[in-house]
Structure 1
Amino acid sequence: MEYALGLLSGYSVWQLGAALAATLGSAFVRGLTGFGMAILLVPILALALPPVESVIVANFLSLFIGLVEIKRLVTGAEKTAWSLSLLVLLFTPLGLYALAVTSPDIARFVIAMIALSAFVAILIPRKNQSAPGRAATGVVGLISGLMTGYAGMPGPPVVPYYVGRNLPRETAKTSMMLVFTVAGLAGIASAIVLGLVRLELALLAAALFPAVLIGNKIGHGASGQISDTAWRIFVGLVLAGAAVAALLRLL
């Protein structure tokens, strides 16, 4: 226990506080909408931590919460979620390598732009329920894998892929959550291979995980209690705020 606390002592009080607040809020959004945790969490974490550490911590948390819900995700997800997950596994290492060789300021800028792209994706109106073709699925999986590695954000291409169709909310949510769980696993495995994972990052994620459980449970309980328009506006505003905050850090 003392050893673990010693490792975490390398983080300042404000860093830990910012990480805790961001984790709780982003987990609430995940429980409410089925997506948004990494999209919201990484830009805010990147204000307090180096971008690579922010992405690794977010991947740990995505994997942890996904494993808690894995039975529901496997049984409720659309078949396309498995195809996307495989592509994410293949392309995440390339994205993480790009992040590792990018300067922190450039990485924060790219992460902010990804958050902004997610904000735009939320505003896309729903279309028909038919699944996109193989080419569209392949492009979404490739980009999602690169974004998982580079920004810990598999969501921007995956969200419109599911939310942009008139799928039942639970099907869309479980499909996205399954892809994000696999993305977390891919991100961690890639970081280990590249020698980027340190014990204190895993401990930080473990320390933040209770906040994920609490926020996710509250959000899940609120799911279905608000209109589709209301949650789109809510998530969009938070996404925009996270992106603006990341851009301000550059200034």
Structure 2
Amino acid sequence: MLGFSADIILTAIGAAIAAGFVRGLAGFGLSVVLVPVLQLAIAPSAAVLVGIISLFLIGLTDIGRIRRDADRSAIPITLVALACMPLGLWALVALPPEWARVLIAMVSLGAFVLVVVPLGKVTLARKPAMALSGFFTGFFGGFAGMPGPGMAPFYLRGRLEPKAARASMMAIFLMVTPLSAALFIALGIGGREEALLALALFPAVLLGDWFGHRAFGRVTTTQWQVATAMVLGGATLGALWKLVS
């Protein structure tokens, strides 16, 4: 399939199922799981594009859920993210790989710390928090195809119920990913082959996502927060591993 060996195809399918499950449960994390595996077989920028297209395709299946449950905070965060995404894409193309790895590792670690470390009375007003969330969502959407770590701290530490927080993140993904993919293709970073690979993996992503949605309905708020924090933790460990290796 698409010129890849059987073992690469099987690995990609397994990663797509796992990525879909994480996304269905947490509301984000598809690219966090899928892109690191794919970039072992194809160019990192191509893997990022496959992840972005996969995010958009799976987002189309959740339009009803998004319209019903998403919070209005998704609108300003999306607008800021769209404005900042070209900056992330520029960084992906312009920065040396070593600097890129450092940047990914630092922001992944920062997002994880903001989610899991008790901050006591340290708070940030809602509007500045949304602005920062939008900036990092857009930057990392363009830079690494992983907008999730940018928005996760805002929604995990906020007062929204998991259902609304999860739907809000899905809404942002749905709006951000088409522009991100278009920018990649316009700059010649990818095109037809990456789109075909994303389409080929979509049934596996959809299967994992279905299981993730079923699991979400059976977990408590605390369990959901722990699960999403573990997704960020996995992304952080992966980024740090690339940095030290």
Q: TM-score, normalization: structure 1?
A: 0.84
1:133-183: CA deviation from partner (whole Å, max 9, x where unpaired): 323222211121111000111111211211211212211111010011122
Deviation of 1:245 after TM superposition, in Å, equals: 4.4
Tell me the residue number matched to 1:63. Answer: 56
Deviation of 1:62 after TM superposition, in Å, equals: 0.6
Structure 2 residue 148 is matched with structure 1 residue 155: yes
Q: Is the 8 A contact 1:78 1:171 kept in 2?
A: yes
Q: Secondary structure at the match of 1:47?
A: coil
Tell me the residue number matched to 1:50. Answer: 43
Tell me the residue number matched to 1:144. Answer: 137
Structure 1 unmatched runs, 5+: none
Structure 2 residue 16 is matched with structure 1 residue 23: yes
Question: How many residues get paired?
Answer: 243
Structure 2 unmatched runs, 5+: none
Q: Secondary structure at the match of 2:190?
A: coil
Q: Is the 8 A contact 2:216 2:224 kept in 1?
A: no
The one of 183, 187, 205 equivalent to 2:180 is 187
How do residues 171-250 of structure 1 correspond to structure 2 at under 5 angstroms? 171-245=164-238, 247-248=240-241
1:91-120: CA deviation from partner (whole Å, max 9, x where unpaired): 112211211223445445544444444433
Q: Is the 8 A contact 2:20 2:205 kept in 1?
A: yes
The change in CA–CA distance for 1:246 and 1:18 in structure 2 (over 3 A counts) is farther
Output the amino acid matched with 1:48: A
How do residues 83-94 of structure 1 correspond to structure 2 at under 5 angstroms? 83-94=76-87
The change in CA–CA distance for 1:21 and 1:120 in structure 2 (over 3 A counts) is farther
Q: Is the 8 A contact 1:81 1:176 kept in 2?
A: yes
Q: Is the 8 A contact 1:28 1:219 kept in 2?
A: yes
The CA distance in 2 between the partners of 1:136 and 1:235, in whole Å, is 19
Q: Is the 8 A contact 1:125 1:164 kept in 2?
A: no
Q: Is the 8 A contact 1:60 1:188 kept in 2?
A: yes
Q: TM-score, normalization: structure 2?
A: 0.86
Identity fraction in percent? 39
- CA RMSD, 1 decimal: 2.8
The change in CA–CA distance for 1:15 and 1:232 in structure 2 (over 3 A counts) is farther
The CA distance in 2 between the partners of 1:103 and 1:13, in whole Å, is 32
